[in-house]
Amino acid sequence: MGRGISQVGELVAETEIKSLNNRFLDLSFRLPREVSINEFELRNEIKKYIKRGKLSVTIKVQIPQSEKFKTIIDNDGLNNALELLKTLQKAANIKDELSIDTLLSLQQFYLTDKEIDSDESIEAIKFSLIEALNELKKMRLQEGAELEKDLDERISNIEINTIKIEGISKKSVEEYYNKFIDRANQLAKDYVNDDDRFRTELALLIEKYDTTEEIVRLKSHIKLFRDTIADDSEAGRKLNFIVQEMNREANTINSKSVSTEILHTGILIKEELEKIREQIQNIE
In the chain, count H helices and then E strands.
9, 6
Read off the pTM: 0.55
Which residues have C-beta within 8 Å of that of residue 283, sequence separation ≥ 6?
Answer: 52, 144, 147, 235, 236, 239
Each residue's pLDDT tens digit, 91-148: 878 777 777 777 777 776 766 655 556 677 788 888 888 999 999 888 877 877 888 8
Residues 108 and 233 in one domain: no
Each residue's pLDDT tens digit, 145-199: 888 888 899 999 999 999 998 888 776 666 665 566 566 666 566 665 666 665 6
Residues 154 and 182 in one domain: yes
Residues 176 and 197 in one domain: yes
Residues 210 and 237 in one domain: yes
Residues 51 and 91 in one domain: no
| Residue span of the structural domain in which 86 resides | 71-113
Contact 114, 72 (CB under 8 A): yes
Residues 192 and 268 in one domain: yes
CATH of the domain at 34: 3.30.230
Residues 129 and 197 in one domain: no
Residues 87 and 134 in one domain: no
In this structure, how many other beta carbons lie within 10 angstroms of the beta carbon of residue 162? 23
- Number of domains the chain is built from: 3
Which residues have C-beta within 8 Å of that of residue 253, sequence separation ≥ 6?
Answer: 165, 211, 214, 215, 218, 262, 266
Contact 93, 86 (CB under 8 A): no
The radius of gyration of the chain from alpha carbons, rounded to an integer in Å, stands at 35
Distance CA 185, CA 199 (A): 12
Residues 194 and 269 in one domain: yes
Residues 59 and 100 in one domain: no
